[in-house]
Structure 1
Amino acid sequence: MIMTYRAADARYDTMAYRPSGRSGLKLPALSLGLWQNFGEARDYPSAFEILGFAFDQGITHFDLANNYGPPPGSSEELFGRVLARDFQPYRDEMIISTKAGYRLWPGPYGEFGSKKYLTASLDQSLKRLGLDYVDIFYSHRYDPDTPLEETMGALAQMVRQGKALYVGISSYPEAETRRAHAILKALGVPLTIHQPSYSILNRWIEADGTIDACRELGIGVIAFSPLTQGVLSGKYGRGTTETTRADNQKGPMRASHTSPAVLEAVERLRPIAERRGQTMVQLALSWVLRRREVTSALVGVRSLAQLKDNLGTLAAPDLSDEDAAAIDAAVAGGLIDLHPQPSGWLR
């Protein structure tokens, strides 16, 4: 007999929900991203073990993109099967997002920010997900060769067509964030959320003023890679990187992520985490969530144990000013500059 999933009655008891900027959209403090760990290599039972547990713990936001897998599109297909089989009764309790911007098919219309590409990509994503609409649709990266008016106009059209409830941007620097907001405002569609990379080691949104612009304009911030591709878990400093993402120089991780200076900085964080009674992962997430501009931290996990470690962050006390100062001192000299470029790493 096929067992039917029934969500936990207490699923909203411990999760905190934060507004996305000056909108009515609220996201859980921790959101689950399906970037690299929910492709064809993941079978349904192991996927649902993680996804079902996440929802039972109040994680209502599941973040995808057209290129997530591997191969591209497979994460949306897998999540679409979960929606159809187990999550369908709870669809209206969920925030499901997807993105388009990186290369998905050959030719001049298979990437970046043209209306042609964004429209076709969202239609394909909806088909893979088995949905009539997504809750959030993002421009995944700034396109220097397409007028921003065209890209934002395409996002506004998708809202008007009912294919997306909210729209956002990802990895847009400060100046482009302000322009995108202004264009959408003129079109009568709010820019609700920005998804940049942000972590203890990667602070580009502070350095270039993007996070300040989001606060000023009322745009929510959901931080991706809050563990800097797992570096802030501490696993690279106390073992080999031979079978980890650190070796895949074609992927999102670079050799600079595990340079001696970076790993030494991470090790200096360990006694701070221990003093607070946290794991390294939990300290890193507490640091990202300390800022009121941050709506949610977007986590990616390979196992249920990793998800439980992430969720342990919710029980921790807020970072004190002394903790924050100690963290700043610990990582001095070990920061990574991941300011986005138009031809940036594949996400």
Structure 2
Amino acid sequence: MVEQTDTTGVNTQLRRRLGNSDLELSPLGLGCWQFSKGSGMVGKFWPVLADEDILGIVRTSLEGGINWFDTAEVYGGGKSEEALADALNSLGNAASGAHVATKWWPIMRTAGSIPRTIDERLRRLKGWPIDLHQVHQPYSFSSAAAEMNEMAKLVQQGKIRHVGVSNFSAARMREADKALRAHGLRLTSNQVKYNLLDRRIEHNGVLDTAKELGVAIIAYSPLEQGVLTGKFHSNPELVRGIAAGRKLSGSFKPAALARTRPLVDRLAELAGKYGASPSQVALNWLIHANGDTVFAIPGASKPRHAQENVHAMAFKLSSDELQELAVLADRCKR
């Protein structure tokens, strides 16, 4: 892990190698699901963002040291990819060096759809190369090996640089990495849900396997749909205003909020110590609790949310604090 400073003296935050790749990325990227423009069933999870807001979010992220963006085919059927590309292109030199990760949607498809859809991904990204192409889910009509064989061909053709997966089990990660090794490649990353309140990957073999294989973990939902910000503990009435899909999470129920309050209160105390916010402390735990293995992709629907994200990289919790938060999080399950 290295720290860099740009020519103006502005700290561009930490950079770390993404798994087995040669990509040097910030520990936090920007998740771009919310750029879906309300298109498709998945895109309706978020309100429609204006182009100027998307531009402001991307600009703020870049200025704060974030140098990569995660999108997907299924996010608005390509609308998120387009919106991200438009923002990056509008920023010109300010976006120089930015990296883009996207994902192929496998459900109800075979591996043969990977090469058939890649040109559409590139078209939507409007000249931005695909530094990381990921299989979005483990469910398709093909094996992980078959999917990796098609991904390897895209690397060889120069259409993508690196291969990742998402929501893969430990066993399926091994299958994917083995298939890529036959082509002289390695699996780069596994994108999974991971945060202080959802640490399943620590117990189901996924995190251990990632460390063994040198695979990066990319954590989505790093704030448990906003629960770790503490705002719903401070004002439970806010739960009424969230989208119906988010309400399905048991984390918003009164009993769950009561159970997680000690953790959120400690996040607030540490936030005071570091001149940060509870959400920034939760993100800081995520990117430091497992060395350089874990990256995270918080979203942002306003430029101020992006500013909130980037400050999470401006400090580092002590080893004792990292452990303390893990213990408090474990108690939330009881």
What is the TM-score when the length of structure 2 is the normalising length? 0.85
Aligned-partner Cα distance in 2 for 1:43–1:273: 32
Please tell me the residue identity of whatever aligns with 1:67: V
CA contact (8 A) 1:101 1:140 kept: yes
Question: SS state of the match for residue 59, structure 1?
Answer: coil
Aligned-partner Cα distance in 2 for 1:131–1:273: 41
Question: SS state of the match for residue 265, structure 1?
Answer: helix
Q: Of 200, 210, 225, which residue of structure 2 is paired with 1:204?
A: 200
1:106-255 aligned within 5 A = 111=107, 114-131=110-127, 133-143=129-139, 145-237=141-233, 238-240=235-237, 241-245=239-243, 247-248=244-245, 254-255=248-249
Q: More displaced, 222-231 or 38-47?
A: 38-47
Please tell me the residue identity of whatever aligns with 1:78: A
Instruction: Identify the residue that residue 41 of structure 2 maps to in structure 1.
Output: none
Q: What 5-or-longer segments of structure 1 have no aligned partner?
A: 1-7, 103-110, 337-347
Question: SS state of the match for residue 67, structure 1?
Answer: coil
Question: SS state of the match for residue 112, structure 2?
Answer: helix
CA RMSD between the two structures: 2.4
Instruction: Identify the residue that residue 66 of structure 1 maps to in structure 2.
Output: 73
Instruction: Identify the residue that residue 98 of structure 2 maps to in structure 1.
Output: 94
* Structure 1 position 58, deviation (Å): 1.6
What is the TM-score when the length of structure 1 is the normalising length? 0.82
* Structure 1 position 333, deviation (Å): 5.2
Structure 1 residue 327 and structure 2 residue 334: aligned? no
* Structure 1 position 143, deviation (Å): 2.4
CA contact (8 A) 1:11 1:58 kept: no
In the superposition, relative to structure 1, how do residues 314 and 84 fare at CA in structure 2: closer, same or farther (>3 Å)?
closer
Instruction: Identify the residue that residue 257 of structure 1 maps to in structure 2.
Output: 251
Q: More displaced, 151-160 or 71-80?
A: 71-80
Q: Deviations over 1:20-78 (max 9, x none)?
A: 2243221101111111245252222111111111111221101110111xx33211121
Instruction: Identify the residue that residue 265 of structure 2 maps to in structure 1.
Output: 271
Q: Deviations over 1:300-320 (max 9, x none)?
A: 011122222222222333243
Aligned residues: 313
Aligned-partner Cα distance in 1 for 2:297–2:108: 23
Please tell me the residue identity of whatever aligns with 2:79: S
Instruction: Identify the residue that residue 84 of structure 2 maps to in structure 1.
Output: 79
Aligned-partner Cα distance in 2 for 1:56–1:324: 27
Please tell me the residue identity of whatever aligns with 2:185: V
Aligned-partner Cα distance in 1 for 2:291–2:300: 25
* Structure 1 position 263, deviation (Å): 1.4
Instruction: Identify the residue that residue 316 of structure 1 maps to in structure 2.
Output: 315
Aligned-partner Cα distance in 2 for 1:113–1:180: 17
In the superposition, relative to structure 1, how do residues 302 and 266 fare at CA in structure 2: closer, same or farther (>3 Å)?
farther
In the superposition, relative to structure 1, how do residues 137 and 49 fare at CA in structure 2: closer, same or farther (>3 Å)?
same
Instruction: Identify the residue that residue 108 of structure 1 maps to in structure 2.
Output: none
Instruction: Identify the residue that residue 45 of structure 2 maps to in structure 1.
Output: none
Q: More displaced, 120-129 or 167-176?
A: 120-129
The structure with more helix, counted as a fraction of residues: 2
* Structure 1 position 295, deviation (Å): 4.2
In the superposition, relative to structure 1, how do residues 93 and 132 fare at CA in structure 2: closer, same or farther (>3 Å)?
closer
In the superposition, relative to structure 1, how do residues 295 and 325 fare at CA in structure 2: closer, same or farther (>3 Å)?
closer
Structure 1 residue 47 and structure 2 residue 54: aligned? yes
Question: SS state of the match for residue 59, structure 2?
Answer: helix
Question: SS state of the match for residue 236, structure 2?
Answer: coil
* Structure 1 position 293, deviation (Å): 4.4
